[in-house]
Structure formats: structure tokens, C-alpha cells
């Protein structure tokens, strides 16, 4: 089965594991990039993010949104 979200999901998990996701006033989170050079403001309820992936690639949920949703427990990871 092809799941186009999978690479984004793996990156999102890494962001959470590295503590790159900082929850702000609900429903906002700040997500720092893996390299620490950028930070993105995410609305994890309305699924908005100001990153290039979300703005230009037309993805419904970028890795930052996934990461924030994983962090808050909104998105439950499928058990392998
Ligand atoms: Zn994003």
C-alpha cells in the first residue's frame, strides 16, 4: 500500500522526539526545523502552517502539522 504521508510522518516523529515542537496558546505550536535554522507557526486544529511545503506544494498536512498533532495526542500513530 502506498501512503504518501509516510515520509512526512517519519520526519514529524523525529521532530517530536527531538523536542522541536513547542506548544503555545491553543491551538498554536511553534515547530523548529531539524537543523534548527527555521521555525514555523502551526495551527494544529485548523491545520495551517507557514512553511513552503504547505504553502506551495498543496499538501493537506505538512510534517509540522503532523508533529504538533502527534505531540498533543490529536493524531494517534498506527501501531506497527
Ligand atoms: Zn509546515
Consecutive 10-residue runs of the chain (80 residues): their mean pLDDT?
72 96 97 95 96 86 95 81
Please write down the long-range contacts of 59-66, taking CB distance under 8 Å and 24 or more positions apart: 59/8, 61/5, 61/8, 62/8, 63/8, 63/9, 63/11, 63/12, 63/15, 64/12, 64/15, 64/29, 64/31, 64/40, 66/5, 66/8, 66/9, 66/12
Question: Rounded to the nearest whole angstrom, what is the distance from the C-alpha of residue 40 to the centroid of ligand 1?
Answer: 6
pLDDT at 5 (0 to 100) = 67
pLDDT at 3 (0 to 100) = 59
pLDDT at 77 (0 to 100) = 72
Question: Rounded to the nearest whole angstrom, what is the distance from the C-alpha of residue 23 to the centroid of ligand 1?
Answer: 15
pLDDT at 57 (0 to 100) = 84
Question: Rounded to the nearest whole angstrom, what is the distance from the C-alpha of residue 77 to the centroid of ligand 1?
Answer: 19
pLDDT at 80 (0 to 100) = 60
- pTM here is 0.86
Amino acid at each position: 500500500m502506498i501512503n504518501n504521508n509516510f515520509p512526512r510522518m517519519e520526519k514529524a516523529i523525529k521532530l517530536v522526539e527531538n523536542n522541536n515542537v513547542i506548544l503555545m496558546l491553543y491551538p498554536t505550536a511553534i515547530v523548529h526545523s531539524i537543523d534548527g535554522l527555521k521555525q514555523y507557526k502551526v495551527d494544529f486544529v485548523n491545520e495551517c502552517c507557514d512553511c513552503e511545503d504547505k504553502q506551495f506544494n498543496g499538501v493537506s498536512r505538512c510534517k509540522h502539522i503532523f508533529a504538533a498533532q502527534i505531540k498533543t495526542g490529536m493524531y494517534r500513530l498506527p501501531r506497527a
